[in-house]
Amino acid sequence: MNKRLLGKEYETQAAEYLCRNGYKILEKNYACRYGEIDLIGESPEKMIVFIEVKARSSDAFGSAGMAVTKEKQQKIRRTARRYICEHRLAWERDYRFDVILFENHRLEHIENAF
């Protein structure tokens, strides 16, 4: 399986995990000129959550969490601001940035990752 298909499979698994835990998926692979966000959801507490999904089959090139660099975080924040404006969401609403990691086929959900 190529990397793109494998990435989509992990995103699907992440979305299923979130749904099982009371989240509502609002958008998958939201993209704009600033970047892309893998998943956008609403938590059980009605918070909008921007979710980056990362996977590593080994740690030979570093952990999955290390792939969410400061530059990547900045792109996600900028893309999230565009999503908020485009969907006319209230700025006073609660927002959060999570990361879902798959390392050695194990899922780890990090809330408020950055």
Q: Which pTM was predicted?
A: 0.89
Q: What is the CATH number of the domain that holds 84?
A: 3.40.1350.10
Residue numbers of the domain that contains 89: 3-110
* Domains: count for the chain: 1
- Report the pLDDT value the prediction gives residue 92, as an integer from 0 to 100: 87
Q: Are 44 and 23 in contact, with CB atoms under 8 Å apart?
A: yes
Does 1 score more than 90 pLDDT?
no
Question: Residues 60-103: pLDDT tens digits?
Answer: 444 545 668 999 999 999 999 999 999 999 988 899 999 999 98
Residue 79: exposure state from Cβ atoms within 10 A (0-12, 13-18, ≥19): buried
Q: Which two tokens stand for residue 113?
A: 């990752």
